[in-house]
Amino acid sequence: MATNRLGFFFERQFQRLYQLRNGCQSWRQALKHGRPSAVRRICQPLAVTAPTLSLFGISWGGSKPKEGAPEPVKGETVQDQKTILLERADRLYSEHKIDELYDLLIEHKDSRDDEILWRLARAAVDQGKLSDNKEILQKKYYEAFEFIKQALEINNQNYAVHKWYAILLDYTGEFEGKKQRIKNAFQVKEHFMKAVELNPKDATSIHSLGYWCFTMADLKWYERTVASALFATPPSSTYDEALQYFLKAEEAEPNFYSMNLLMLGKTYLKLQDGKMAYQYLSRCRDYPMNTPDDRRANAEAKQLLAMLTSGAGRKTRD
């Protein structure tokens, strides 16, 4: 009887060892394909603790792995956690939960990851825009600029990094005076051009180039004097060039941004095409107001439409 019990004991142990070997292979495959729930199902009946992945502050394992448990494949698990973090960040951005997004990403400001840092810079900018306090806005812009400078040092082949570097170079230049903003103009355009080169389908980068052209075409005489003093060949553009970029941005992603609709309306006004201006300004006025930019665009579109309907802007180009 004792011999039978001993034989049964060893048979059970061999069965468990066989299951453990197969289970380890299975959870490695589950990790590889990013299925943490599958790892739990595999590990639970085998009494193997699922590995805890917390490099980015997110963990799905309940406890420290037991001694002798298989080591996770670090490269794969880090990538899985980064993907989860970025997906959550992008979801919060699309839901306009700016404070929650900033709080999520600021925990990873030392990550040395360009994808995290440019999103953190964008979140800081959006946080600043939520405030009516100019000092807070300035503080958030400069905070964001530090994040995007780090991102550019890490990876200069990321289109979003170039786009946000250009945006923040211009935003911070606004606080440093007209002279500095004009001085930054060529560098701003250079980074927008690089962003479009790296991702020709990004509507925001194309819009930003259009905005740069509009700003240069719209310089006052004294601003042109400053530009001429700073550069042998000062930055310049035309309203027609700006229009082509705004239309191209709309073609890349229709109705993507209230400010693009506004700028199309304003550019057509500059070109004395009241009919087309009215069309785009009306679309801007009717655009959902989810962000500070949307609200600002809405208010300006209403003012310009009032001007058009009053007769002040009815000149059209046949």
Q: Residue 208's domain is classified under what CATH number?
A: 1.25.40.10
Cα distance between residue 214 and residue 9, in whole Å? 82
Cα distance between residue 15 and residue 85, in whole Å? 39
Q: 3-state class of 210 per DSSP?
A: helix
Quick one: CA dihedral 256, 216, 171, 276, positive or negative?
negative
- Cβ atoms 272, 315 nearer than 8 A: yes
pLDDT at position 142 over 70: yes
Say whether both 205 and 267 belong to one domain: no
Say whether both 89 and 139 belong to one domain: yes
Res 214: pLDDT: 97
Res 270: pLDDT: 97
**Higher-confidence position of 268 and 11:** 268
- DSSP code string of 301-313: HHHHHHHHHTTTT
Percent pLDDT > 70 in the chain is: 73
Res 5: pLDDT: 47
CATH code at 131? 1.25.40
What is the pTM for the complete model shown? 0.72
**Higher-confidence position of 85 and 230:** 85
Q: 3-state class of 82 per DSSP?
A: helix
Q: Between the ranges 10-14, 35-39, 92-96, 219-223, where is the mean pLDDT highest?
A: 92-96
**Residue 217 CB-density burial (10 A; 0-12 exposed, 13-18 middle, 19+ buried):** middle
Cα distance between residue 191 and residue 133, in whole Å? 29
Q: Please tell me the least confidently modeled range out of 22-31, 52-61, 73-82, 143-152.
A: 52-61
- Cβ atoms 203, 253 nearer than 8 A: yes
Closest CA to 191 of 140, 147, 142, 148: 148
Section 207-226 average pLDDT: 93
**The last residue of a domain, from among 130, 155, 180:** 155
Section 183-212 average pLDDT: 97
Matching residue, tokens 């810079």? 121
Domain count, the chain: 3
Res 48: pLDDT: 37
User: Rounded mean pLDDT of the chain?
Assistant: 81
Taking phi first (over 0 means left), then psi (-120 to 50 degrees means alpha), and beta for anything else, what does residue 255 get? left
Say whether both 163 and 244 belong to one domain: yes
Matching residue, tokens 């794969």? 76
**The last residue of a domain, from among 236, 256, 276:** 256
Neighbours of 80 (CB within 10 A): 23
Q: Which domain holds residue 306?
A: 257-318
Res 2: pLDDT: 45
Q: Please tell me the least confidently modeled range out of 24-33, 117-126, 283-292.
A: 24-33
**The last residue of a domain, from among 256, 274, 307:** 256
Cα distance between residue 284 and residue 255, in whole Å? 9
